Amino acid sequence: MGKENINIKYEHQNNSNYLVIEDNVEYDDYQYKMLRRNKPEHFLRFSMYSVNGRYGIYYDITSRQQLSKYYEYGKMTMEDVKSICVNISEMVRIAEDYMLDIDHVKIEPRFIYMDVGTKKLQFVYHTKVNGYSFNESLKILFEFILEHFDHSLDKESIVQLYEVYQKVIVGDYDPFNLMRMFGIKKVKKQEESVIQDMPEKRDKEIKTVIAEQMISDKEEKADESDVNIRKVIIGVVSMAFGLLGIFVPGLIPFRIPSVLSFICIGAGIGILVFCKKEHKKLQSVILTQKQSIPYVVKKDTAQVLYNESVNVNNKCIEEKKVSYDDICNETMLLSEYMPEKNSRKELKLVLQKENLIGEVLIYIRGVENEDMVICMDKYPYVIGSFEKMSDVVIKAQVVSRMHCCIYHEAFKDDEYLVEDLNATNGTYLNGERLGNHERKKLSDGDVLKIAAISFKVEIS
């Protein structure tokens, strides 16, 4: 029963995709029999097998997307988070009805599968995979949510999400109604369907230059500086009051115990030290925010930048003329910092019309592409039939909603990869079918087949 004996893999059989978990010990728990006979909602359908002393379970994941993969290409909104919580609470209530142990329900993102159209979640029930409790798994899930949440939304949503995360950490929640963490006492069935069917509002573009960070506005910074000034004043007054009580007690109209005087001095010193540390921290944050990507200095601003650098460093140097060439020689150019755009080879997928069976339409951001050539302008680049989550939409019955994804390897200008996204009819590279979530390198001249639709790969 050791964890090292458990094997997790994916298989494709008869146009169906399966998550397979196998072990060398037979699964004879009553929970599996209960699930197989009743097929309750929110649990993946499965079948069991035994071959040569190995026992396994086939979970049917056809036409569903792994939660961890789905949000790899887009950010979560608060509606998405609430929909996940509603689905989990529904699953917990069903597990209670069928006397299932919720600690054996896998709610880590890689074991949760979503119907992309309805946002309905289905879960894996397994008694041996990892030893996480429900609470530990919920923490892992919310850490994933925080990482993939859209932090460009309003601050109120971000603050609310972090408050919910704190409740999850301390276990302050009701698994039968996770929506209480959001201040909602009870969710009616009609409201649950509204949350699940709510339109997606996500920014699918993944920013790679600017680091994600929360920056306070000017009014908040002004309030922080005022608070620090008040703290400094309080510290100085407290320390002065204590010193007067010890060395010049006659200046104070009432008698102060020596112990209280020493306490005032210590408190004053502590407040001043704390304010000094806060000031240094604020300075470091400001310096970090002011950093920018190296750039080429323009000719008409060269002298101004030179004079500013002299004033900042407070160095007395002789006046001299600085030429544009001198400053450019000492400045890191953008071309030295990042690869030139023109030097990187670009990937194109050209539709092979002679191999088409039936009509195929290709849309890029809602506009029909009559050239039948797919040019990538961002990575990852999702290809599928579901408009809300695909960068290019291929209207054909054989294409899955999220069929495959093209990646560009960072710092490798000419290396491109394709990954199958649990496509029902498969993704093929030069006639060989990719496994579920398997990645393979694309080369110039390759034939990429999306179900029955062939594209020629051009890297030039």
Q: Is 165 helix (H, G, I), strand (E, B) or coil?
A: helix
**Do 190 and 236 fall within a single domain?**
no
Q: Is residue 213 part of a domain?
A: no
pTM listed for this prediction: 0.60
The DSSP result for 321-385, as a single string, is ---HHHHHHHS--HHHHS--GGGSPPEEEEE-GGG--S--EEEETTEE-TT-EEE--SSSEEEES
**Do 38 and 153 fall within a single domain?**
yes
What's the structural domain count of the chain?
A: 4
User: Do residues 364 and 371 lie in contact, with contact meaning Cβ atoms separated by under 8 Å?
Assistant: no
**Do 147 and 185 fall within a single domain?**
yes
Domain holding 392: CATH number?
2.60.200.20
- The backbone torsions φ and ψ at residue 307, rounded to the nearest 5 degrees and listed phi first, read -65, -40
Q: Is residue 379 part of a domain?
A: yes
**Do 163 and 130 fall within a single domain?**
yes
**Do 330 and 435 fall within a single domain?**
no
**Do 241 and 137 fall within a single domain?**
no
**Do 127 and 147 fall within a single domain?**
yes
User: Do residues 103 and 124 lie in contact, with contact meaning Cβ atoms separated by under 8 Å?
Assistant: no
**Do 235 and 358 fall within a single domain?**
no
**Do 56 and 135 fall within a single domain?**
yes
- List, run by run, the mean pLDDT of 10-residue segments along the chain (460 residues): 71 91 86 92 93 90 92 88 96 95 94 92 91 92 94 88 94 94 65 45 37 40 60 77 73 71 78 71 47 40 44 43 46 46 75 83 89 88 90 92 88 82 93 92 94 92
Quote the CA–CA distance of 448 and 433 in Å, as a whole number: 10
**Do 178 and 234 fall within a single domain?**
no
Torsion of CA 93, 45, 65, 63, to 10 degrees: -130
The burial of 274, by beta-carbon neighbours within 10 Å (0-12 exposed, 13-18 middle, 19 or more buried), is given as middle
State the pLDDT at residue 191: 47
The domain boundary, picked from 174, 203, 232, lies at 203
Task: List % helix, strand, coil for the chain (3-state, nearest 5).
Answer: 40, 20, 40
Query: Between vectors from CA 338 to CA 335 and to CA 339, what angle results, nearest 5°?
Result: 80
Q: Is residue 446 part of a domain?
A: yes
Range of the domain at 281: 224-287
**Do 88 and 145 fall within a single domain?**
yes
Domain holding 4: CATH number?
1.10.510
Q: Is residue 78 part of a domain?
A: yes
Q: Is residue 211 part of a domain?
A: no
Q: Is residue 215 part of a domain?
A: no
Q: Is residue 153 part of a domain?
A: yes
Q: Is residue 292 part of a domain?
A: no
Helix axes 155-170, 134-148, angle to 10 degrees: 160
The burial of 369, by beta-carbon neighbours within 10 Å (0-12 exposed, 13-18 middle, 19 or more buried), is given as middle
**Do 320 and 419 fall within a single domain?**
no
Quote the CA–CA distance of 138 and 229 in Å, as a whole number: 42
State the pLDDT at residue 413: 65
